[in-house]
A = this chain, B = another copy of it.
Amino acid sequence: MIQSMSRGFEDFPVGTRLVSHSCAITTKDIIDFARRFDPQGFHLDAKSAEKTLFGGLTASGWHTAAVSMRLFIDAMNVSGGIVGLGVDELKWPNAVRPGDELRVETEILAARRSKSRPGYGIIRLYNITKNQRGEVVQSFMANAMLPARGS
């Protein structure tokens, strides 16, 4: 079975650490996302952003979250799918700016079989997104469900 060759719950025991590939964020990426989902001056226009708290164009926190999800999904490489169950302590301690290159570091904090859904496991993870200087631009903890390989 092809399914059984994919990574699953058993591949992410407590203490597992993953580092994603990196993703560059362009001015166009920032503005495109902001126009649709977070149309505020500091995310939309470099000139008007200069006069704000940020002193320049910055990505929406939800844009950072979305890019981080992509990096996380790619690093996990679970073809059966990962279902987010909830997120805690989502923070954006530093702004993401045009040209930044983001990378996600994941640590598995807990892992158990699902009681209600046989064949699935639930992991608790800590995800940190860093820029090219190693500064943290996002962090959160989350619970997620994913299929086990062996079932």
Give the interface of A toward B (CB within 8 A): 33, 36-42, 52-53, 60-63, 65-67, 69-70, 73, 79, 81-92, 117, 145
Interface SS majority for chain A:
mixed
List of B residues within 8 angstroms of A117 by Cβ: 53
List of B residues within 8 angstroms of A70 by Cβ: 36-39
* Complex CA–CA separation, A73 to B34 (angstroms): 11
**Contacting residue for A89 out of B60, B61, B86, CB 8 A:** B86
**Contacting residue for A73 out of B39, B53, B81, B84, CB 8 A:** B39
B92 touches A84 (CB 8 A): yes
* Complex CA–CA separation, A42 to B52 (angstroms): 39
Q: Which residue on B lies nearest to A53, using beta carbons?
A: B83
* Complex CA–CA separation, A37 to B65 (angstroms): 9
Complex A-B: 27 CB contacts under 8 Å: A36-B66, A37-B70, A39-B70, A39-B73, A40-B73, A40-B81, A40-B82, A42-B81, A42-B83, A53-B83, A53-B117, A60-B66, A60-B69, A61-B84, A62-B62, A62-B66, A63-B66, A66-B66, A84-B92, A85-B91, A85-B92, A86-B89, A86-B90, A86-B91, A86-B92, A87-B90, A88-B88
